[in-house]
Amino acid sequence: MNFEIARRRMVETQIVDRGIRDRMVIDAMLKIPRHIFVEEAMSAQAYSDTPLPIGEKQTISQPYMVALMTELLELSGTEKVLEIGTGSGYQAAILATIANRVYTIERIRTLALRARKALDSVGLLNVNIRISDGTDGWETEAPFDAILVTAGAPDIPDALLSQLNAGGRLVIPVGDQFEQTLVKVTKQEDGSIRRESSVACRFVKLIGKHGWSLDD
């Protein structure tokens, strides 16, 4: 399989044709080899228009959703970004191709180690990975210019809002355990919050102290 051709076709038909216009997002999606971030047995499906399982009951998001969430952050290239839910590492790779520095938290150790290996293999050394409860954020590295949550939450964790810089953007799926709405939050200079709804979506649950419990 020619992965480069498949990747270009993915970007043209799944990303650009659906309205993604941010050139930095498009270029990042063209650059990062998505097949590196899935299991070898599924590499032929890496550029398909769907999420894929990555083990531990987790998934790598649909390419369009990765692009849309990244575009909503409105990155310029200088930001310090926090990602909650490293998963395969693919979303972190897209963020790190654009932003200055990415801090990403994963609660499942095996996924974090696999993501680290994949990120290193494509030369993205501006990503820090922590194994922890992502709903607490990363207080010692705060504040962040942008925060991206790649799991569905019952509401926006206060800890994440408090770690967002004035003028910063936070993107998170909010809803019940079966369906969410993608929400973009902008923190105003006076500390107030502007909340905007985007598209309906379905993510795995955000597990943690300020999210869902494993028993839910």
Q: Are 63 and 37 in contact (CB under 8 A)?
A: no
| Per-residue H/E/C for 90-158 | HHHHHHHHHCCEEEEEECCHHHHHHHHHHHHHCCCCCEEEEECCHHHCCHHHCCEEEEEECCEECCCCH
User: What pLDDT is stored for residue 121 in this prediction?
Assistant: 97
pLDDT digits (tens, 9 = 90+) for 113-142: 999 999 999 999 999 999 999 999 999 999
Q: Token pair for residue 166?
A: 């004035």
Q: Which DSSP letter does residue 14 get?
A: I
For residue 61, the model assigns a pLDDT of 96
Rg of the chain over Cα atoms, rounded to whole angstroms, equals 16
- In tens, the pLDDT along 146-161 reads 999 999 999 999 999 9
Q: What is the pLDDT of residue 215?
A: 81
Write down the mean pLDDT value for the chain: 96
Residues whose CB falls within 8 Å of the CB of residue 187, separated by 6 or more in sequence, listed in order: 161, 164, 165, 166, 167, 168, 169, 170, 193
Token pair belonging to 49: 């228009």
Question: Could you tell me if 119 and 140 are in contact, meaning their C-beta atoms sit under 8 angstroms apart?
Answer: no
Q: Flag whether pLDDT at 1 surpasses 80.
A: no
- pLDDT band at residue 187 using 50, 70 and 90 as cut-offs: very high
| Contact in structure between 212 and 151 (CB atoms under 8 Å) | no
For residues 167-181, give the mean pLDDT. 96
The pLDDT confidence band at residue 214, using thresholds 50, 70 and 90, is confident
Which sequence positions are flagged as catalytic?
61
pLDDT at 198 over 90: yes
Give the whole-angstrom CA distance, residue 196 versus residue 33: 31
Q: What pLDDT shows up at residue 160?
A: 98
Do strands 80-84 and 101-106 pair parallel, antiparallel, or not at all (unpaired)?
parallel
Q: What is the mean pLDDT of residues 92-101?
A: 98
